[in-house]
Amino acid sequence: NSSESHNCAKSILTSDRLQIVVTLSEFFNETWEAANCANCLKNNSEGLSNSTEEFLDLFNKSLTCFEHNLQGQTVYLSPNNYTEVCKNCNETYTKLNDLYNNLQRMNRQGGESGHSAHLCIDVEDAMNITRKLWSRTFNCSFPCSDTVPVIAVSSFILFLPIVFYLSSFLHSKQKKRILILPKRIQSNASLVNIQEKYS
């Protein structure tokens, strides 16, 4: 009887004092939501979305590249000398980083999963691991595309005061000051001398 089935399920699920089945079900549902797991799947949750599969494939290629370039060399390398890893894995890492940025942009607009939120925890964790290895462990630098414009604007701003003072100096009329000596009245002492002469 359908009317009794709800009561039957309720009595089975809540039969023990801890209600362990209900507690576990709520825990897994909350974990699934907090980790944004649905964002790694297709709309009907049949499997991983194409973008997630592409990302995980590139992630595995990046890790393989790191391992391949470190094989047999870690004993001889100093902690800050991973130039082979940086040089040989730069292309793979750049592709992975670009794909991750595109996925973030797409996900804000709804993406393949239909959920607009953060990327799923698997993708975010994978990218965090890769970035940590790339920047902290291997000390590889990822060139910033904004460097040239920032330097150009900073130089222009620093150069402006020089241009201002130079132009104001060149365009202002420089007047040469001519000193005119004023005619002074002879002092009383000289008048007394003149009078003494004539007397």
Q: Tens digits of per-residue pLDDT, 40-74? A: 888 767 889 899 999 999 999 999 999 998 875 55
More confident residue, 188 or 138: 138
78-109 per-position pLDDT tens digit: 555 688 888 899 999 999 999 999 999 887 77
CA dist., res. 127 & res. 132, Å (int): 8
Given a contact cutoff of 8 angstroms between Cβ atoms, the answer to whether 86 and 80 are in contact is no
Q: Per the domain annotation, does 57 fall within a domain?
A: yes
Question: 110: pLDDT confidence band, cut at 50, 70 and 90?
Answer: low
Provide the pLDDT for residue 196: 60
Domain for residue 34, yes or no?
A: no
129 in a structural domain: yes
The answer to whether position 66 is within a domain reads yes
Q: What is the pLDDT of residues 27-41, one digit of tens each?
A: 999 999 999 888 888
Least confident of 5-14, 108-117, 140-149: 108-117
Residue 180 lies in a domain: no
* pLDDT score for 15: 73
pLDDT for res 70: 84
Q: For residue 121, which amino acid is it? A: I
pLDDT of residue 75: 46
Among residues 53, 177, 157, 176, the alpha carbon closest in space to that of 113 is found at: 53
**Taking residues 3-18, what's their average pLDDT?**
69
Does residue 33 lie in a domain region?
Answer: no
pLDDT at 186: 52
Q: Please tell me whether the overall predicted TM-score, pTM, comes out greater than 0.75 for this model.
A: no
pLDDT in tens, 68-79: 988 755 545 455
Domain assignment present for 186: no
DSSP string, the chain: -HHHHHHHHHHHHT-SSS-HHHHHHHHHHHHHHHTTGGGGB-TT-SSB-HHHHHHHHHHHHHHHHHHHHHTTTTTTS-TT--HHHHHHHHHHHHHHHHHHHHHHHHHHTTTTTS--SSPPHHHHHHHHHHHHIIIIIS------TTHHHHHHHHHHHHHHHHHHHHHHHHHS--PPP---PPP-PPPHHHHHHHHHHH-
What is the crossing angle of helices 121-132 and 50-70, to 10°? 20
Selected residue with higher pLDDT from 116 and 138: 138
Residue 51 counted as domain residue: yes
Name the more confident of 7 and 50.
50
pLDDT in tens, 140-156: 875 566 778 888 888 88
Full residue range of the structural domain in which residue 57 is found: 47-137
Query: How many domains does the chain contain in total?
Result: 1
Q: Which residues contact 97 (CB under 8 A, 6 or more apart)?
A: 127, 131, 142
**pLDDT above 70 (res 191):** no
From CA 141, how far away is CA 123, in angstroms rounded? 22
